[in-house]
A = this chain, B = another copy of it.
Amino acid sequence: MAKHDPQLDLLFHALADPTRRMMLNRLARGPAPVTELAEPTGFKLPTILRHLAVLEAAGLVATQKDGRVRSCAFQPAALRPMAEWMEEQRRLWEGRLDRLDDYVTRLMKERET
């Protein structure tokens, strides 16, 4: 368990914006150039480009230029740290229940004696 994982900062922060989630949603269906990515959002290109930079920083999207077109591709593997974090919380939470369970068990044993 990392004490302070900057990767998670980037990941969660990237996903905290509806525009960026919309872009990801589009990319999950397949690669797309920047312009096509921008179109449904109604925002101007520079704005979209900055969002794209955030997504890239989080590793969620990889891009490359073919001629003058930049193609963007979703990187599903980038979601893993998030899934792992969730799993850790679940483990802790259930650990808590287990301990509570132990406590109850102990209480009942004491009552039996």
Q: Which residues of A contact B (CB under 8 A)?
A: 4-6, 8-9, 12-13, 15-18, 21-22, 24-25, 28-30, 74, 76, 79, 82-83, 85-86, 88-90, 92-93, 95-96
Q: How far is the CB of A15 from chain B (nearest CB, A)?
A: 4
Q: Which residue of B lies closest to A20 (CB)?
A: B12
The complex places the Cα of A6 from the Cα of B76 at a distance, in Å, of 23
Given known contacts A24-B89, A89-B76, is B16 in contact with A95 (CB within 8 Å)?
Answer: no
In contact, A89 and B25 (Cβ under 8 angstroms)? yes
Q: How far is the CB of A61 from chain B (nearest CB, A)?
A: 12
Determine whether the beta carbon of B25 is less than 8 Å from that of A18. Answer: no
Closest beta carbon of chain B to A79's beta carbon, Å: 6
